[in-house]
Amino acid sequence: MKKLMSFWPCLLATMILSCTKGPSNDLPYGLKKSDTLILNLSSEPPSLDWHKQLDSSSAYVISNLMKGLAAYDVNDPKFPLKPMLAEKWTRNPSATQWTFTLRSDVKWTDGTTLTPQHFIDAWERLLNPETSAPAAYLYYDIVNAKAYNKGQIKDFSKVGVTLDGQNITVSLNKPRINFPLIVSGTTSYPIRKDIIEKFGPKWTAPEHIQTLGAYRMTQWKHDEAIVLTRNPTYFSEPAKTKNLLFYMIAETSTAMNLFDQNEIDIIDDVPTREIEVLKERDEYNVIDAWGVYYYGFNTRKPPLDNILVRQALAYAIDRGQVVKLLGGGQKPAPMFLVPGFTGFEPSIGTRFFPEKARSLLKQAGYGPNNPLPKIYIGFNTSENHQRIAENIQNQLMKNLDIQVELKNQEWKVYLKSLQEDPPHIYRMGWLVDQPAPDDFLEMMTTDSNNNYTGWKSQKYDRMVASVKSSIKEKVRHELTAEAQKLILEKETTMVPIYSYTHSFMISKSVENFPLNPAKYRPLEFVSVNR
């Protein structure tokens, strides 16, 4: 299997190099290198349907094809939210009703004018239980949104979203000060209902999809590359670079070799084995991120259905070893929030304590005469994920004397396994779109489709609901801290490993590539000077 996985990147690399030779300096797919920004996605996007997307590779492409009501201003160092498809928004004093006034000059790539109804169609589809949208739970604060998503009501007109001319008014069950942040994400983007009904699951194919962002999709060679081209109908300033070429090369070393040969402009999955050397290069860039790399526990799969076993595993992991292994400026993360967020308390969470780990495992009834059954660590194919999994495998075997096996899968297959039958321990990361704890906390609620642990708690759900609706910062801080203690210490549903940094290799020919903690990467402002 490993040979097959490594064969494709090498074949693609050979194809890239052979296609770029010659006086015209052409790229594959009929592109010119002089007007193309070349990037690497690392893997095939599982879906470019923004209601079904739940991964960063898909979001990277979608966010350059589409826009939402609002967006972060990447050209402002303070990274504020700015109007996008909405020219403005207002709220009532209690923050339970928000009105967004839509721009009137936005057109889809086929020339059709964007209307408020395209948003209503989108939110109806997002919340329709037949869509199985993984992010539908993020919109449950809208009046009757949860009831509609759960099939308890069938009439979408009862959901708290109404139209009045160019105005879209959203009514909420409770105050939500940061609601514009929610509707700036990819899952809130409008849709063309007519296109989806006409082409069904194939509506995201290049020949069918209609978008309204700075770029339009012109090619999608599955498991090879995606090509985006400047959108002539874009309502704002035209994209600086004509084409975006996204390769799908899983092996970071192969991608790095292509970068060194000027065949890739941006590498955002820097090979950790080389990072000490890469740090010395001018092309290397690193920033802190709003995200955490973590290992989740399948609390329903024996022997991890025993809380003492989960706690023993948590105390047996030395996060410092992992951070040292990576060497990219990451910081050990005992809790699921990052510094600067409401509710962040460095004392929360488990710490490396092997003696306590062994004692807990003994209390759970396991030892030399009754060894713990073999457990599996699952992760998606990546050199970095492999190195981390091997390190933690060795730590658990050394500190607890238990059998641990590794299982890696291609990204699409891995996501499906998490949804259907997660391994005992699974690798995942959580990058948030907003500088607030809500996004982190909601991931572990009962209604969350991103909670693969199988753990559910009404007490926790109530805590998170209170955090979202409270206007008082002190109350939000205290409730967030308590919620973190519950999932990390008392129930130990997961082990945060480290807070993310974003490490990039950026070619000297690239100007104005967006670097920000949310990893929000609109490429319309990026220029290439070869």
Residue 80: CB atoms within 10 Å: 8
Residue 168: CB atoms within 10 Å: 23
* pLDDT tens digits for range 262-278: 999 999 878 778 888 99
What's the pLDDT score for residue 472? 83
What topology is assigned to 290-501 in CATH?
Answer: Dipeptide-binding Protein; domain 3 (3.10.105)
Q: At what angle do helices 307-315 and 383-400 cross, to 10 degrees?
A: 110
Quote the percentage of the chain above a pLDDT of 90: 75
Average pLDDT in the chain: 92
Query: Please, are residues 168 and 149 in contact by the beta-carbon 8 Å criterion?
Result: no
User: What amino acid occupies position 347?
Assistant: S
Beta strands 425-431 and 284-297, pairing class: antiparallel
Residues 6+ apart with CB under 8 A from 143: 159, 160, 171, 172, 173
Longest dimension (CA), the chain: 73
Q: Map out the domains of the chain as residue ranges.
A: 2-66+213-265+507-528, 77-194, 290-501
SS3 314: helix
End-to-end CA distance of the chain: 39
The H-assigned helical ranges of 131-190 are 145-149, 179-182
Average pLDDT over residues 12-41: 75
SS3 370: strand
What's the pLDDT score for residue 471? 77
Q: Is pLDDT at 25 greater than 70 in this prediction?
A: no
What's the pLDDT score for residue 113? 98
- Domain 2-66+213-265+507-528 CATH assignment equals 3.40.190.10: yes
DSSP annotation of 425 reads E
Q: Residue 10: which pLDDT band, with cuts at 50, 70 and 90?
A: very low
CATH number of 77-194: 3.90.76.10
* Cα 262-264-266 angle, rounded to 5 deg: 115
* pLDDT tens digits for range 398-431: 999 999 999 999 988 999 999 999 999 999 998 8
Question: How crowded is the C-beta side of 319, counted as CA atoms within 13 Å?
Answer: 22
* pLDDT tens digits for range 136-195: 999 999 999 999 999 999 999 999 999 999 999 999 999 988 899 888 889 999 999 999
